[in-house]
Amino acid sequence: MNMAAAAVDEQRQWGRMMAMAQIGAIPGDGVNRACLTALDRQARRLLIDWANEVGAAVSVDTAANLWLRLEGTDPRAAAVVTGSHMDTQPNGGRFDGIYGVIAGLEALTALQQSGAKPRRPVEVVAWTNEEGGRFAPGCMGSMAWSGFRRIEEFADVVDPDGVRFAEALAAHLAAETDLPRRPLGSRPHAYVEAHIEQGPRLEAERLDIGVVTGIQGSRWFTVTLTGETAHAGTTPLALRRDAVQDMVRAIKALNALMHDPMDVLRFTVGRVVVEPNTSNSVADKASFTIDFRHPDKHVLLARGDAVAGVVQAAVRDAGVTVRETFHALPVEFSPLVIEAVARAAIEQNCRQMRLPSGAFHDAQFVVPVCPTGMIFVPCRGGVSHNPAEFSEPSQLAAGTRVLTQALLELAGR
Ligand code: GLV
Ligand code: MN
Ligand code: MN
């Protein structure tokens, strides 16, 4: 076995995972650690402490992406980058995101302890706000880093408490002024992100490693319906402008638009806000989110572009606005990274399959910048975005050994 991969320590990694899971722990073994909160900062400090122990240099960019860097033998060589995110869904689990960051740190630790001297620097990044649970959309940090969007474009996005993203980011960066700043954006040699699968395939097929071939496309919309509030006991139905009833009509029409007998398309209405939200008043405002995904760009574009018209046509009484908040086309990963991961899995005696990702990841926005790929490890029942999310310590360690070996190959000797 490769010396660096052999230095991956299952217990150390599991201990770090469980220490992180304490920060924002919620009942049922879950985690609620929203981006740019005090809990996020606490988790980052813990990561920084561990990075210091390993001798990695820590820095932060203006999107608050956090970077840990181990130098290679050639200081001018482009880095090989790994990482993921540390924020969670409000009702999230202990593995989504943080595994990729801890796996990256474990890889750095193993490289260091084994005395491996790759030519290129190896960097671990913790991207800001991948989940989009507090500030929508997700992947803000990686979008800003890649130049896909400017970080300033998100300034006025507000969280459910009305806090602006710009203010949360400024407060966060003010708390990390002790960290060296690095410019936003870079040109890595390659990027490889480890993550739990968040789906059932690897477990069902008793496999250790998913060699990820690409990511399906995603589009997010927010639909806002404006009616008029009125007394529930006295106002005749014919005189109402009921935002909730129009929301029901709109969602029914969207279900028809998104119907897919093949069950490939994914359509979710996950957040609904109703005002005044009281049982005996007609609602004057209803807003809901649409999360729509498909692996085929043409379907993604055609049906996504139809959303606004379908909603307008379905609504009877309320005023309507439809705003698109996220637009990520499907991506295919690079053969350079795919093959490096597949070779590493063979060398680690891991049973593997190739599969696309249904979830989006920061890797999606790294694709235009450098050769990119991902490694999946199984998770129990495919459960994710749920406190019950679980992967075995041994499954996580196998993924990290494959990651370490792939990083070493990509970083060159
Ligand atoms: C990522 O969290 C996703 O929703 O796919
Ligand atoms: Mn994730
Ligand atoms: Mn997630």
Structure tokens at 166: 């710009």
Q: How does residue 2 score in pLDDT terms, banded at 50, 70 and 90?
A: confident
The residue with tokens 């304490």 is 22
Q: Quick one: which ligand is closest to 89's CA?
A: 3
Residue 358: closest CA among 301, 269, 291: 291
Cα(364)–Cα(103) distance, rounded to whole angstroms? 19
Cα(342)–Cα(351) distance, rounded to whole angstroms? 10
Evaluate if residue 56 carries a pLDDT over 80. Answer: yes
Evaluate if residue 95 carries a pLDDT over 70. Answer: yes
What average pLDDT does the structure give for the chain? 98
| pLDDT tens, residue by residue, 386-400 | 999 999 999 999 999
| pLDDT tens, residue by residue, 350-397 | 999 999 999 999 999 999 999 999 999 999 999 999 999 999 999 999
Q: Quick one: which ligand is closest to 359's CA?
A: 1
Q: What percent of the chain is modeled with pLDDT above 70?
A: 100
Q: How does residue 1 score in pLDDT terms, banded at 50, 70 and 90?
A: low
CB contact set of 198 (below 8 Å; sequence gap of 6+): 96, 358, 359, 379, 382, 384, 385
Evaluate if residue 125 carries a pLDDT over 90. Answer: yes
Structure tokens at 304: 């996504």
| pLDDT tens, residue by residue, 21-42 | 999 999 999 999 999 999 999 9
Cα(83)–Cα(108) distance, rounded to whole angstroms? 11
Burial 104-116 (b: 16+ CB within 10 A, else e): bbbbbbbbbebeb
Cα(178)–Cα(124) distance, rounded to whole angstroms? 19
Residue nearest to atom 5 of ligand 1 (CA): 359
Pocket of ligand 1 (CB under 6 A): 131, 138, 359-360
Residue 136: closest CA among 61, 66, 222, 43: 222
Average pLDDT over residues 317-343: 98
Evaluate if residue 236 carries a pLDDT over 80. Answer: yes
Q: Which residues surround ligand 2, an ion (CB under 5 A)?
A: 96-97
Cα(2)–Cα(274) distance, rounded to whole angstroms? 57
The type of residue at 413 is: R
Pocket test for ligand 1, best of 88, 131, 135, 290 (most atoms within 8 A of CB): 131
Q: What percent of the chain is modeled with pLDDT above 90?
A: 99
Evaluate if residue 312 carries a pLDDT over 90. Answer: yes
Average pLDDT over residues 326-334: 97
| pLDDT tens, residue by residue, 244-303 | 999 999 999 999 999 999 999 999 999 999 999 999 999 999 999 999 999 999 999 999
The residue with tokens 């706000």 is 129
String of DSSP letters for 149-168? S-GGGGTT-B-TT--BHHHH
Q: How does residue 73 score in pLDDT terms, banded at 50, 70 and 90?
A: very high
Average pLDDT over residues 187-202: 98
Evaluate if residue 133 carries a pLDDT over 70. Answer: yes
Ligand 2 centroid, distance to 361 Cα (angstroms) = 6
Instruction: Quote the pTM value.
Output: 0.95
| pLDDT tens, residue by residue, 41-53 | 999 999 999 999 9
Structure tokens at 317: 């009484």
Q: How far is CA 203 from CA 99, 186, 323, 375, in A?
A: 17, 36, 38, 14
Type and span of the H or E element at 67: strand 66-70
The type of residue at 366 is: V
Q: Quick one: which ligand is closest to 326's CA?
A: 1
Structure tokens at 41: 């900062």
Cα(66)–Cα(83) distance, rounded to whole angstroms? 10
Ligand 3 centroid, distance to 228 Cα (angstroms) = 36
CB contact set of 57 (below 8 Å; sequence gap of 6+): 68, 69, 70, 71, 180
Decide: 161 and 52 in contact? Cβ < 8 Å: no
Decide: 252 and 314 in contact? Cβ < 8 Å: yes
Structure tokens at 38: 């005090």
Decide: 146 and 369 in contact? Cβ < 8 Å: yes
